[in-house]
Amino acid sequence: MNARDKILDIDPEMLVLEPAEFDSAIIGVADRFGMESVVAYDKEAILEILMRDMSEEEANEYFDFNIIGAYVGDKTPVFVTLI
């Protein structure tokens, strides 16, 4: 069972990024007090995936505007910077 299937098995209404190419960046589920659980992604892994087809600057701009900037409700994924 892949990460997407595990996530959707936990809660079929959790939002996952499309295309499925981003599934490799899933690091788990984030639980928040008084809020819905959401999918957690590794931000750096997302940027690396984007940089397969665009420059670093373009990837950062795309991420800021189209991914992290695309709030779609309580089930919107979170993006973690691993240290």
**pLDDT score, position 14:** 94
Q: What would the 3-class secondary structure string for 21-65 be?
A: HHHHHEEEEECCCCCCCEEEEEHHHHHHHHCCCCCHHHHHHHHHH
pLDDT by residue for the chain (83 residues), tens only, comes to 899 999 999 999 999 999 999 999 999 999 989 999 999 999 999 999 999 999 999 999 999 999 999 999 999 999 999 99
Domain ranges, ordered by start, for the chain: 3-80
